[in-house]
Structures are given as structure tokens and as C-alpha cells.
């Protein structure tokens, strides 16, 4: 069984329209809020979906047939109930999901016509409840897991607790996906307990304290993690490359076409899920890396097809 710990949230994405003649803000009319007629005639492009690094990893693993349990914190609102329902529909165990009064984590992203984020707002307060005490409550799940995946959205004290309790000396295989730059910074004192790390290039810089741009610097980052006690290293590179290392085996894979790894694409979470799955299956690091690249490419091709349809 694979246990996954971390963020479950709702992401709301708003694509802003070009301003009309005489308007001063994207998507707004002369008064700043548009006329009633424009409200009646035009619909904004607004999409909402359940997400989060750990959520995505768990759902993908379950969809590929792996026994998966999810540990997280959600609110007692309709979003929290929707998150739980989607997990269960995907085949993910939710005994580790704890419900708290208040709001489930939510991100709101405003995109301009070029697809770049113009404004971002979030409320992830409920994730602060993923404390060492909560993790101790879920000990039965964790003790039964062959692999434990954690993302960097959980509190720093919880990352460090997991590294000490279920790190390399425990016989468990603890995987770490930073999720974002703050997540990688929180893990600075916990690296030695990780069996596998799966950062992006900038996250790897934060974790190593060194610049990671060239192939030589990627190799140096891999060596840093290896010396710290990490067995497997996967670093995703902007544009779709992927660096991998385990022992003396290391390399870089380049995609046939650009793959966008990042928090907004979901492809990075696919990579993390594929790395965990390949480890369960006993595959070599180069085969795991190849599988991860293939899964990410398939995912983004499906996303592109959905946008075109």
C-alpha cells in the first residue's frame, strides 16, 4: 500500500477578458464593474476543480491500480465533501482524511489572455492541522504502507517528524515532493530521512543551496542528495527535461516536445506518482524516469485535447 500525505484543495481558475473600448480593467466596463447588459450577455471562463499535489498523486496512483490511502485535512464545507467523494470514486482510501470546522483549502488564480497568472489568492489554513499529532492518529495506515509520499504543503514540524519517524532508518521508503518553493525550504533539515526526492529545478536549488542550471550542476545536486542519504533523485527541468540518479546510475531525459512541469499543469504530480509506482514495481531508476516522462506527456496531450474540443 502507498500512503500519500499532503494538500487537498479546490483550485478556481478565472480567465480574464480583454477590456472593451472605454473600460479601464480587464473584464470590467466603464464604471469598473461593467453594465448589467454585459453581465447578462457574457459569461466569464471560470473553472473549478479538486487538486493539490498529494491529492493528484493519490488519484493517479489509484487510477493505475495501486492500493492507495490518503491523509490530509479538509473543511466541513461542500468543497471538503466533494474532495472526499472524488477520492473515493477514484478508489483512494479516505480513512486518513480528517474533517475540521471551516473552509477546505482553496486557490483562486486569475489568468490574462496570454495564459499568465495576473493575480493569485489562497486560503490553506486548514492544512496547518496536518500536525505530528494528527499523523500519530493515522499511525495504523502509515505502519502498513510500503511507501509514504509527503508533499511540502504540510507544516515543517510534520515534515521533520515524518523524516525522523519513517525515514531511511525505519525501513520505510519516504518520498518527498516539495510541491512549491516554500515546501522545499521547509525540508532543509529533513533531507537525510528521504528515500526519494522529487523537486523541480528551483526547488532543488533551495534544498541544496546551490545554483542548478547546467547538466554539471544537476549532477552536483544529485551528488548532494546522495551524500545526504537519499537513494533516488528525480529533478524536473523547465521545458520538460528530467534528471535522475540512483547510486552510480544517472542521466537526463529530454522530451520530443516541451512538457510543462509546474504547480499549475499537474504534470509534475504525474511524475511523482509514476516514480512511486515504479519503485513499488521494483524498476530501475532509468526505467522509472522513462515511465514518468511518458505518463507526463500522455497527461498533457489529454489536457490539450480537452482544450481543443
What DSSP string runs through 57-113? HHHHHHHTT--EEEEEEEESSHHHHHHHHHHHHHT-EEEEEEEESSPPEEEEEEE-T
pLDDT given for residue 264 in this prediction: 46
pLDDT at 255: 72
Cα distance between residue 83 and residue 80, in whole Å: 5
Extract the C-alpha cell encoding 10.
479546490
**Residue 224: what pLDDT?**
98
| Nearby residues of 58 by Cβ (< 8 Å), 6 or more positions away | 4, 68, 69, 70, 87, 90, 92
Nearest residue to 265 via CA among 56, 120, 123, 47: 56
pLDDT of residue 115: 77
Query: CA-based Rg of the chain, rounded to a whole angstrom?
Result: 20
CATH architecture under which domain 2-308 falls? 3-Layer(aba) Sandwich (3.40)
For 169, which DSSP code?
A: G
Domain extent listing, the chain? 2-308
Q: How far apart are CA 10 and CA 12, in angstroms?
A: 7
pLDDT value, residue 135:
98
pLDDT for residue 305:
42
pLDDT tens-digit profile, the chain (309 residues): 999 999 999 999 898 876 665 555 555 544 455 555 555 556 778 999 999 999 999 999 999 999 999 999 999 999 999 999 999 999 999 999 999 999 999 999 998 888 788 888 999 999 999 999 999 999 999 999 999 999 999 999 999 999 999 998 888 999 999 999 999 999 989 999 999 999 999 999 999 999 999 999 999 999 999 999 999 999 998 766 899 999 999 999 987 655 555 544 578 899 999 999 999 999 999 999 999 988 888 877 665 544 433
The pTM (predicted TM-score) of the whole model is: 0.88
Angle between helices 285-308 and 267-280 (to 10 degrees): 140
Amino acid at each position: 500500500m502507498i500512503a500519500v500525505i499532503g494538500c487537498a484543495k479546490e483550485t478556481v481558475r478565472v480567465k480574464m477578458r480583454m477590456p472593451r473600448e472605454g473600460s479601464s480593467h480587464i473584464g470590467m466596463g466603464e464604471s469598473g464593474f461593467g453594465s448589467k447588459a454585459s453581465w447578462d450577455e457574457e459569461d466569464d471562463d471560470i473553472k473549478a476543480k479538486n487538486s493539490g499535489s498529494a491529492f493528484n498523486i493519490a488519484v493517479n496512483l489509484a487510477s493505475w491500480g495501486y492500493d492507495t490511502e490518503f491523509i490530509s485535512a479538509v473543511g466541513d464545507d461542500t468543497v471538503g465533501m466533494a474532495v472526499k467523494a472524488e477520492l473515493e470514486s477514484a478508489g483512494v482510501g479516505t480513512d486518513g482524511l480528517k474533517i475540521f470546522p471551516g473552509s477546505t483549502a482553496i486557490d483562486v488564480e486569475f489568468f490574462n489572455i496570454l495564459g499568465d497568472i495576473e493575480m493569485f489568492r489562497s486560503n490553506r489554513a486548514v492544512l496547518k492541522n496536518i500536525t505530528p499529532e494528527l499523523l500519530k492518529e493515522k499511525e495504523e495506515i502509515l505502519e502498513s504502507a510500503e511507501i509514504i509520499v509527503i508533499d511540502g504543503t504540510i507544516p515543517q514540524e510534520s515534515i521533520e517528524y515524518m523524516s525522523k519517524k519513517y525515514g531511511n532508518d525505519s525501513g520505510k521508503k519516504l518520498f518527498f515532493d516539495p510541491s512549491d518553493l516554500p515546501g522545499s525550504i521547509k525540508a532543509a533539515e529533513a533531507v537525510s530521512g528521504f528515500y526519494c526526492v522529487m523537486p523541480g529545478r528551483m526547488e532543488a536549488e533551495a534544498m541544496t543551496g546551490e545554483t542548478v542550471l547546467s547538466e554539471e550542476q544537476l549532477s552536483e545536486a544529485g551528488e548532494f542528495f546522495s551524500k545526504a542519504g537519499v537513494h533516488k533523485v528525480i529533478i524536473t527541468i523547465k521545458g520538460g527535461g528530467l534528471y535522475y540518479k540512483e547510486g552510480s546510475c544517472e542521466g537526463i531525459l529530454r522530451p520530443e516536445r516541451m512538457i510543462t512541469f509546474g504547480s499549475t499543469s499537474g504534470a509534475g504530480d504525474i511524475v511523482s506518482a509514476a516514480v512511486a509506482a515504479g519503485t513499488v514495481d521494483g524498476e530501475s531508476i532509468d526505467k522509472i524516469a522513462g515511465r514518468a516522462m511518458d505518463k507526463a506527456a500522455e497527461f498533457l496531450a489529454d489536457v490539450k485535447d480537452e482544450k481543443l474540443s
